[in-house]
Amino acid sequence: MKIRNAVVLFLVATYAVLAPAAGIGLAQIGSSAGFAAIVLAGAFAFFSMGWIGGGDAKLAAVVALWLGPDHAVAYLLYTAIFGSLLTVAILRFRAVLLPAPCLSVAWIMRLHAPKSGVPYGVAIASAALYVFPRTQWMTVLF
């Protein structure tokens, strides 16, 4: 359950190249960067309380950069909804006994362990994919 810095840096660099190429103005890029900074600060507050991982915090911020403040409410709402559903599903998964073939699969055992966290990056990415088709990016592309 790790989100590599290289992934986050790739997404930031890709945004830096594609946003101007897509006709997104400096003011909108600046407001998206400001929104991403706010999300990063809030996510690191959650990280400091042990609620999410550091990779999740960085991923949430870079997704906020791509989606921009126009889609902030939808993005944060869907992240919370998908995160809640994921958490409930994992808690239910952890309540059942695993079949014997699963006992030798490391990632299944990690996910099933009661003290293990919830891979919240899945919820963040799901919310991003759900909101992204409604963004300016899709109108530029299609």
78-100 residue pLDDT tens: 999 999 999 999 999 999 999 99
Give CA separation, 137 vs 18, 68, 89, 107, in Å: 10, 11, 32, 35
For 31-45, the pLDDT digits (tens) are 999 999 999 999 999
Amino acid letter, residue 111: L
What is the reported pLDDT for 95?
Answer: 95
**What whole-number distance in Å separates Cα of residue 94 and Cα of residue 40?**
30
Whether the predicted pLDDT of 55 surpasses 70 = yes
Cβ distance 68 to 137 under 8 Å?
A: no
pLDDT band at 112 (very low <50, low <70, confident <90, very high): very high
* Gyration radius from the chain CA atoms: 17
Cβ distance 53 to 117 under 8 Å?
A: yes
The pTM of the full predicted model, rounded to 2 decimals, is 0.86
Torsion angle, alpha carbons of 128, 121, 29, 48, to 10: 140
Distance of alpha carbon 110 from its chain centroid, rounded? 20
∠ CA 28-32-36 to the nearest 5 degrees? 170
